[in-house]
């Protein structure tokens, strides 16, 4: 069983006490929420407890599909990997180091907006449903939906302001809150609206047509480049996603960094995604190298730009000026 224990629980010491504290034990048996939060394979008991992700070039569901995946594991893994899936596809601007040694980063949609929407979908979905959480990225928007409905105490209008919390899965929501994935109950949708407005994005749309869906709009210029004369067009120059992610890693690497430090700078949390799509390709292409190449698994391992990486970084920075 994989378990994430927040600092508040450390005095409890033993696993049964932690589970009891979270109301994850019933007559000495672990509950469904415990399986979803800490089980190594909760899909054995809840086959549809997954997040289905898909990326489309245009404005509608259509082939080709550049990337699609089904994210399994516990709810923490699902949330982390789903957030990183979106962040790896949307635009990232790396600013100048005028006020800090580390260049500021700005995703086209704030990470907090994506995270809040995905956490809400995973925490409040109907786990008895045969449907799954779905995340679809289009040229002009992100759609995040889940098989669930608003509680009778809430309306779509209520979601626009702070409101009392009526979680579908209260114990699951509580552990996500204790682990820091939820900041305050009842503020999620209001926070999404506020952050989108501050970022200059169009107001998100909430829909109860089939389950619960939120549409988060990408910057207008992103959508326009895929639309011409009222019809959807696929961009002739499809971005090489792996190459784009390597460039992001190169631009932020101004000294030797540990893997976790690089992930923190890029606002990523899912280790396998970072290794497979950012770190390993950058090293395989010769842009990044280990500081301790003979001790690849050392806890003191860091990563730095090679001469080839330095040259590419200079070129990339010149292009951004």
Res 209: pLDDT: 81
Q: Over the chain, what is the mean pLDDT?
A: 84
Give me the architecture of the 47-227 domain, per CATH.
2-Layer Sandwich (3.30)
Average pLDDT value for residue range 286-307 = 96
Q: With cut-offs at 50, 70 and 90, classify the pLDDT of residue 151.
A: confident
Q: With cut-offs at 50, 70 and 90, classify the pLDDT of residue 316.
A: confident
Distances in whole angstroms, Cα of residue 141 to Cα of each of 56, 200, 241: 10, 14, 18
- Cα–Cα distance for residue pair 196/231, rounded to 1 Å: 27
User: Contact, 151 vs 168, CB < 8 A?
Assistant: yes
Res 150: pLDDT: 78
Q: Which residues pair with 303 in a beta bridge?
A: 257, 290
- Cα–Cα distance for residue pair 217/114, rounded to 1 Å: 11
Q: With cut-offs at 50, 70 and 90, classify the pLDDT of residue 302.
A: very high
Estimate the share of the chain in helix, then strand, then coil, as percent rounded to the nearest 5.
40, 15, 45
Q: Cβ of 231: how many Cβ atoms within 10 Å? A: 8
What are the E-state strand segments in the chain?
25-26, 29-30, 51-55, 67-71, 92-94, 105-107, 133-137, 141-146, 205-207, 212-217, 227-228, 231-232, 288-290, 303-305
pLDDT at residue 19 greater than cutoff 80: no
* pLDDT tens digit sequence for 68-122: 999 999 999 999 999 999 999 999 988 655 555 666 789 999 999 999 999 999 9
* pLDDT tens digit sequence for 215-271: 999 997 554 444 433 334 333 333 344 589 999 999 999 999 999 999 999 999 999
Encoding tokens for residue 191? 């926070």
User: Contact, 310 vs 288, CB < 8 A?
Assistant: no
Q: With cut-offs at 50, 70 and 90, classify the pLDDT of residue 313.
A: very high
Asked, colleague to colleague, whether 47-227 and 241-320 share their fold, the answer is: no
Percent of the chain predicted with pLDDT > 90: 57
Instruction: Report CA dihedral (1, 80, 72, 50) to the nearest 10 degrees.
Output: 120
Q: Which residues pair with 143 in a beta bridge?
A: 136, 215
Ordered by start, the domain boundaries in the chain are: 47-227, 241-320
Encoding tokens for residue 314? 């200079």
Whether this model's pTM surpasses 0.85: no
Res 222: pLDDT: 52
Residue 34 neighbours by CB under 8 Å, 6+ apart = 19, 22, 24, 25
Res 1: pLDDT: 37
Average pLDDT value for residue range 149-159 = 72
Q: Which residues pair with 214 in a beta bridge?
A: 144, 206
Mean pLDDT is lowest, of 18-27, 196-205, 281-290, for: 18-27
User: Contact, 61 vs 139, CB < 8 A?
Assistant: no
Provide Rg for the chain, Cα atoms: 21
Average pLDDT value for residue range 141-162 = 79
Q: Candidates 2.120.10.30, 3.40.50.2000, 1.10.10.10, 2.70.210.12; correct CATH number of 241-320?
A: 1.10.10.10
Average pLDDT value for residue range 15-39 = 81
- Cα–Cα distance for residue pair 107/92, rounded to 1 Å: 4
Average pLDDT value for residue range 38-47 = 92
Res 47: pLDDT: 95
Res 186: pLDDT: 57
Res 136: pLDDT: 97
Res 164: pLDDT: 67
């Amino acid at each position: 069983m994989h378990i994430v224990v927040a600092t508040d629980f450390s005095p409890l010491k033993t696993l049964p006490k932690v589970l009891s504290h979270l109301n994850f034990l019933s007559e000495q048996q672990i509950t469904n929420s415990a399986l979803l939060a800490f089980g190594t394979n909760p899909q054995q008991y809840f086959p549809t407890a997954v997040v289905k992700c898909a990326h489309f070039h245009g404005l509608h569901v259509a082939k080709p599909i550049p990337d699609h995946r089904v994210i399994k594991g516990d709810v923490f893994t699902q949330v982390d990997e789903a957030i990183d899936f979106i962040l790896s596809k949307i635009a990232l601007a790396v600013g100048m180091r005028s006020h800090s040694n580390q260049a500021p980063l700005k995703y086209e949609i704030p990470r907090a907006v994506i995270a809040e929407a995905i956490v809400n979908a995973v925490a409040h979905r109907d786990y008895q449903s045969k449907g799954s959480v779905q995340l679809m990225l289009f040229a002009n928007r992100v759609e995040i939906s889940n098989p669930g409905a608003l509680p009778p105490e809430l309306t779509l209008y209520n979601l626009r302001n702070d409101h009392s919390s009526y979680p579908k899965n209260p114990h699951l929501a509580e552990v996500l809150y204790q682990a820091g994935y939820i900041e305050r109950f009842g503020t999620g949708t209001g926070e999404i609206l506020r952050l989108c407005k501050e970022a200059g994005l169009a107001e998100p749309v909430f829909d109860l047509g089939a389950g619960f869906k939120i549409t988060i709009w990408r910057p207008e210029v992103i959508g326009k480049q895929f639309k011409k004369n009222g019809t959807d067009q696929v961009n002739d120059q499809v971005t090489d996603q792996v190459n784009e992610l390597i460039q992001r890693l190169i631009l932020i690497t101004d000294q030797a960094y540990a893997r976790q430090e690089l992930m923190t700078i890029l606002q990523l949390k899912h280790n396998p995604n970072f290794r497979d799509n950012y770190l390993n390709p950058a090293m395989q292409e010769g842009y990044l190298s280990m500081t301790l190449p003979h001790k690849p698994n050392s806890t003191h391992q860091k990563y730095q730009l090679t001469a080839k990486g330095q040259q590419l970084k200079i070129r990339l920075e010149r292009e951004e000026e």
